[in-house]
Amino acid sequence: MPDALFSHPRLARVYDPLDPDRSDLDTYVNLVAEFGADTVLDVGCGTGVLITRLVDMDVEALGVDPAQASVDVAQSKLTQGTAELVVGTAPDVADDIARWNSFDMATMTANVAQVFLDDSDWLSTLRAIRYCLRPGGRLVFETRDPFDRAWERWTKETTHRTVDLGEVGIVEEWVEAIHVDGEFVTFISPTIFHLDEERIDSTSTLRFRSQPAVERTLSDAGFSDVEVHDLPYAPGRGWLFIATAGG
C-alpha cells in the first residue's frame, strides 16, 4: 500500500508545487541522451515529472507506480506525446510492459529503490525490470549512503516550512524521523492545509542498504557491469548505480 504522501489525492496534487526543484532528475535525462535510449521504463514514476521531460525529448516512455492518485496527476500532464502510465508494481505488470519490445533503459529516481523493505520484494522488482530490458539495456537508480545518517537531519526544527500555493492556500509541512532499526528508518510527513485546517499524516519507511548489498542483489537479478558513482546532486550522501542487463 503506497504511503499517503503519494496515494492521497489532495497530497498528490500539491506534491509538485511543494517540491518544484527537480534538478535531481538532470542526471537521468543526461544519461538517456548519453546512452541514446529510445524507450525508457520509469519505475515509481510518481507524478510524472521525469516522464514529461522524456516526452519533450521524443523518447517513448512508460511510467509504473502503485499510487493511483500520483498517476492521475501524471496523466493530467500528458496531453500529447509518446508515453503511457500504468498503476501497479513492476512485478505485477512485467508481462504487460514487456510488450513494448524491451526497453533501452529503466530508472528508479529519488528514494524509489529504498521503499522496498523486504529482500524478496526488492529482488523480484529488479528481476521484473531486467525482464523488461533488452540485453545490454541499463538500469539507473540511486540510494542513500547509510553512513551519511541522513535521518538525523529529518527533524521538525530543520524541515518545517509553510508555503503559499495560491488558490490552494497556505500549506504547512515537515519531515521527522521517529524510529531507526538497523537499516530501516521510519519517518512522518504531516501536511496541514490552512484553508480548512485539514491535517493529513503520512508515515513512511526506507531501507538504507550498503553498497555491497545492492551490488549483490543486482548480480542475483541478472545484471552485470555494475557502475557505482557518487550521487551528482548530493555528493558524499549517496550512490548512483548503472547496471547492464545480461544477455
CATH number for position 133: 3.40.50.150
Query: Per residue in 166-208, pLDDT tens?
Result: 999 999 999 999 999 999 999 999 999 999 999 999 999 999 9
Mean pLDDT in the chain?
A: 95
Q: How confident is the model at residue 4 (pLDDT cuts 50, 70, 90)?
A: confident
For β-strands 103-108 and 133-144, DSSP reports them as: parallel
Q: Between residues 247 and 13, which one has the greater pLDDT?
A: 13
187 with 236, same domain? Answer: no
215 with 97, same domain? Answer: yes
124 with 225, same domain? Answer: yes
Neighbours of 34 (CB within 10 A): 8
Query: Per residue in 135-171, pLDDT tens?
Result: 999 999 999 999 999 999 999 999 999 999 999 999 9
- Judge whether residue 129 has pLDDT over 70: yes
Burial of 218 (0-12, 13-18, 19+ CB in 10 A): buried
- Cα-Cα end-to-end distance for the chain: 33
247 closest CA partner among 215, 225, 217: 225
Q: How confident is the model at residue 10 (pLDDT cuts 50, 70, 90)?
A: very high
171 with 214, same domain? Answer: no
* Cell numbers at 214, concatenated: 545492492
> Helix (H) and strand (E) counts for the chain?
9, 14
60 with 126, same domain? Answer: yes
Q: Between residues 111 and 79, which one has the greater pLDDT?
A: 111
135 with 22, same domain? Answer: yes
Query: Per residue in 59-75, pLDDT tens?
Result: 999 999 999 999 999 99
Q: How confident is the model at residue 98 (pLDDT cuts 50, 70, 90)?
A: low
43 with 138, same domain? Answer: yes
Looking at 99-200, which runs of residues are DSSP E strands? 103-108, 133-144, 161-164, 170-173, 176-181, 184-188, 191-193, 198-200
177 with 219, same domain? Answer: no
Q: What is the pTM assigned to this prediction?
A: 0.96
17 with 79, same domain? Answer: yes
Give residue 242's pLDDT.
Answer: 98
Give the separation between CA 58 and CA 80, rounded to whole angstroms: 11
**Cα of 113 vs its chain's centroid, Å:** 7
- Judge whether residue 100 has pLDDT over 90: no
Q: Between residues 202 and 92, which one has the greater pLDDT?
A: 202
Residue ranges making up the domain that contains 192: 148-206
> Considering its fold, how many domains does the chain have in total?
2
Neighbours of 36 (CB within 10 A): 8
79 with 188, same domain? Answer: no
Give residue 246's pLDDT.
Answer: 84
Give, to the nearest 10 degrees, the angle between helix 49-56 and helix 68-77.
30
**Cα of 246 vs its chain's centroid, Å:** 24
Q: Is 143 helix (H, G, I), strand (E, B) or coil?
A: strand
129 with 163, same domain? Answer: no
110 with 176, same domain? Answer: no
